Structure 1
Amino acid sequence: MSGRAAPVYNRGKYWLEWDERADGTRRSPYLTIFWYDPDARRIRSSSTSTDVEDEAIIALDRRYLADASEGPAFCPTCGHPTAQAKSYLLTDAIADYNLEWGRTRTSADTIEGRLKHVVDFLEAEDAKGEEARFGLGTTCAIACGTVFATALRAWSRTQPVLFRNGKKEVTGSRPRSPASTEASIAQLIAVLNHAANAEPPRSDKRPIYKPLPAQQVQRKRRTRIGVAELAAMLRYAAEPGKQRGSLHAFLVASICTVARPGAVVDINVAPERLQWWPGAEAIDLNPQGRTQTKKHRAILPVLPLLGEWLQAELDDYLALPIEQRPGRGFLVNYHGRGVQDVDRAWDTMLRNLQFPIGREWRSYVLRHSLATLARNRGATLWDLEGFMGHRASSQTEVYAIGEFPTAKAALQSIISEIETLAPGSLHRNDTGASSPNAERRGVKMSG
């Protein structure tokens, strides 16, 4: 072990760094966890089996939490459980929350980004030196107070949102919205409550503040697009000879489901997902194994157009050898593999069509616009709420799946008008004809 440089990361008695010889060469290609063993009177070590710092830090956090003599939930003298917010660092609480909860969620990247904003605040405070009120040494007891939340809000308002590419290089920025700040406040509250709810508890304090109400900080989206703009988008996405298949599928699925972008890219025909199968009159936007969240994903009737696309995707899926099927079957895909979003293709489309580019024109505009068009074409509030997943499901709806007739009729009229303005652009192939496999009898889903 070298000792010439500061460790990559440390927590309690453990520290993380490269295992180096005296001449600076590495004994191992992997980052190593070190700690002093008082019984053996020597420094011990354990490989993390990774050279990626983030993964190695997680490994150290796991070891720390598994050590009863080190965890803040235990007394180092008698080993009895204790919970002292004044001795439990906020940075440690964030690390533990991410390890035990945040990284297990489908929204892990979003959670991590919101909490990184909190850590950035702590680092900015540390940089103030003697003028700092907070910093990396801030405990959960301090973070639970309104003074901390007020300071975090004030700092956050001055910090732009940065956009980075795959190389982590900053490619753009925009002013931070109040809603973005409150999202980090809400995530911080979740961290502090997680510490208090741990078994045994790690903190005896809970935050005494709440995030500001959504209606107070969210800017209402005013932009809506009409059928003519939808037709132009589909004409662009369906242009022969272009690699725009993922965008094309995204547009069609969005029109047929009025779903959030995240739910649209999650549509998959693989049987084990239990979302859709041949002949099914409904599609479950919430795949098997995914827990419903506040952004409820509904069970929707399958419009004929969507049925054609789903059947064609299933045909492609079943044509694959069984060993190649894992990870395939996504309706919105790039060379067969699912995508996280279509943001890059979306931005390119906006520029090529000379549409405005900005927050109001992100892909979410489809959901807002289609809801508006459907409402204005006769969809009742009850049907539209159920179709969009806005209405809380009753016990009756667990048994009886809604058909939402007025919403279906409104969407069918939009589809018909798009077909008139941009003939063939709604179909999966380039000819404008319906999928030749649309009526083909498919395999039945087990279960």
Structure 2
Amino acid sequence: MPRQETPLYRRGKYWLGWDRKVDGSLRSPNLTIFWYDPAAGRVRSASSGTAQEDLAVLALDRKYLADTDEAPAFCHACGQPLAQAQAYLLTDAIADYRLEWGDARASADTIEGRLKHVLDFLDVEEARGSEGRFGIATSCAAACTSVFVHAFRAWSRKQPVVWRNKAGLVTKSKDRSPAATEAAIAQLVAVLNHAVNADPPRSDKRPTYKPLPPSQVQRTRRTRIGIEELAKIVAYAAEPNKRRGSLHRFIVASICTIARPGAVVEISVTPERNQWWPGSPTIDLNPNGRTQNKKRRPLLPVLPLLAEWLDAERVEYDALPVEERIGRGWLVNYYGRPVKSIDRAWDAMLVDLGFPTGREWKPYVLRHSLATLARNRGAEKWDLEGFMGHRASSQTEVYAVGEFPTVVSALASIISDIERLAPGSLHRNATGASRAPLAPREAKMPG
């Protein structure tokens, strides 16, 4: 690599760059990891296996962590475990956290976004030069202080949340909420604690602060929709020949489960998910292999309406050749493909129906509204908490599955009223169930 070329990324003795010949042409289309080998007396190299810089950085981080002579958790002189927050960079702690924990989580994209916000702060501070108190050389010790979090919080709240297209151009932006800032701080706390909890530990200091509690930074959602609005929404989604199948499925499943949008789009009839099987009186919103977290996904009774949809989906799944079943079986799908989000279809519906389009009218309004309707129709507090996953199951409930009778009764009443106002719209055959078999891949609904 030419001496004058600045490394794209450096950590310890390793640096990342392009491997060039004497004439400047590339030896490889992939980025290369370089390091000096004192025993051989020369620079050695290894391919990162990719031309994408972010993936190449990840490859370098893996190599660095695998090198016990380089990892900051070890003393270079004696090789003994060493934990010094003053010597362990925050950027390295973030990289290690993502590599060893965050990137393997279901919420990896969310974790990445929150930590990128922290890294953006370090870049801004670095660009300020002598005027910046923090930068890419910030250690974990400095990041654990209240001075750091106060500076980050003040900066973060002035930064808009932006959406970019594939070309990297900003297509949408909005003011950052205090809750979004505190979510990034909570992720930062997790990073710093991960450094201390590593085996052997890489840091000897924990943060002196905590994120502000939700009650201080989250706005209370006041918007609720009633039976009439629900009927209009269902009728819109069920309108034939409009390519609204994913939206229709999402709305019906939400009504039957009062689940969070993320849980609804992950309902599957496949045996390996172990959420439901034909004839099962219950559905487990927490699929096989998913660890429960603060947003608990409960085991719920299957309402007759939901059973109708699940049975039909399983019949279609079983009818597929075995080799074509991979990626299929999702209740909320678009021509058989899994759907991550119905936000675009939902936003288009709000416009078409003349409903407000603000933050409180996002798909989450279904969960809030249905909970309110159920409570006002006699659902008992204990039943509603368990049905919505707001209460952790007791050991007794591991053996005695809750039936939540008052919630089931309230939902049956809600469904009956929607059926009266929009006859047939809740049923699957209102829009036709046949779907063309396409290659499995994730898709988003068109607007």
The alpha carbon displacement at 1:431 in A equals 6.3
Pairing 1:321–2:321 present: yes
Distance 1:250 1:357 in 2: 18
Partner of 1:191: 191
Pairing 1:345–2:367 present: no
The alpha carbon displacement at 1:207 in A equals 0.4
Partner of 2:419: 419
Give the total of aligned pairs: 434
Distance 2:431 2:43 in 1: 70
- Which residues of 2 match residues 255-294 of structure 1 at below 5 A? 255-294=255-294
Distance 1:335 1:108 in 2: 26
The alpha carbon displacement at 1:166 in A equals 4.0
**Structure 1 residues without counterparts, runs of 5 or longer:** 437-447
| Corresponding letter in the other structure for 2:313 | E
The superposition leaves residues 55-95 of structure 1 with CA deviations (integer Å, 9 ceiling, x where unpaired) of: 21111100000111111001111111100000100000000
Partner SS for 1:15? strand
Over 3 Å counting, the alpha-carbon distance change for 1:46 and 1:406 in structure 2 is same
The alpha carbon displacement at 1:3 in A equals 4.2
| Corresponding letter in the other structure for 2:40 | A
Partner of 1:443: none
The alpha carbon displacement at 1:18 in A equals 1.9
Partner of 2:135: 135
Partner of 2:63: 63
Distance 1:390 1:45 in 2: 52
The alpha carbon displacement at 1:4 in A equals 4.2
Partner of 1:309: 309
Larger displacement relative to structure 2 (159-168 or 37-46): 159-168
The alpha carbon displacement at 1:7 in A equals 2.0
Larger displacement relative to structure 2 (21-30 or 238-247): 21-30
The superposition leaves residues 307-342 of structure 1 with CA deviations (integer Å, 9 ceiling, x where unpaired) of: 011111111111111111122111011221212111
- Which residues of 2 match residues 225-244 of structure 1 at below 5 A? 225-244=225-244
Distance 2:397 2:310 in 1: 25
Partner of 1:6: 6
Partner of 1:430: 430
Partner of 1:440: none
Distance 2:392 2:286 in 1: 15
| Corresponding letter in the other structure for 1:188 | L
| Corresponding letter in the other structure for 2:280 | A
The alpha carbon displacement at 1:186 in A equals 0.6
Contact 2:146 / 2:209 at 8 angstroms: preserved in 1?
yes
Partner of 1:297: 297
The alpha carbon displacement at 1:165 in A equals 3.1
Contact 1:424 / 1:431 at 8 angstroms: preserved in 2?
no
Distance 2:215 2:208 in 1: 21
The alpha carbon displacement at 1:274 in A equals 0.7
Contact 2:240 / 2:430 at 8 angstroms: preserved in 1?
yes
Partner SS for 2:29? strand
RMSD value over aligned CA atoms?
A: 1.4
Partner SS for 2:186? helix
Contact 1:317 / 1:329 at 8 angstroms: preserved in 2?
yes
Partner SS for 1:171? strand
**Structure 2 residues without counterparts, runs of 5 or longer:** 435-447
Partner of 2:107: 107
| Corresponding letter in the other structure for 1:429 | N
The superposition leaves residues 359-395 of structure 1 with CA deviations (integer Å, 9 ceiling, x where unpaired) of: 1111111100100011111111111111001112110
Distance 1:415 1:3 in 2: 71
- Which residues of 2 match residues 68-79 of structure 1 at below 5 A? 68-79=68-79
Contact 2:32 / 2:48 at 8 angstroms: preserved in 1?
yes
Partner SS for 1:138? coil
Distance 2:332 2:21 in 1: 50
Partner SS for 1:287? coil
Distance 1:116 1:343 in 2: 24
Partner of 1:170: 170
Partner SS for 2:382? helix
Distance 1:30 1:244 in 2: 43
Distance 1:379 1:121 in 2: 47
- TM-score, normalised with respect to structure 2: 0.95
The superposition leaves residues 329-357 of structure 1 with CA deviations (integer Å, 9 ceiling, x where unpaired) of: 11011221212111111111111112111
The superposition leaves residues 115-173 of structure 1 with CA deviations (integer Å, 9 ceiling, x where unpaired) of: 11111111111111111111111000000000001111111111111122344331111
Over 3 Å counting, the alpha-carbon distance change for 1:273 and 1:431 in structure 2 is closer
The alpha carbon displacement at 1:430 in A equals 2.6
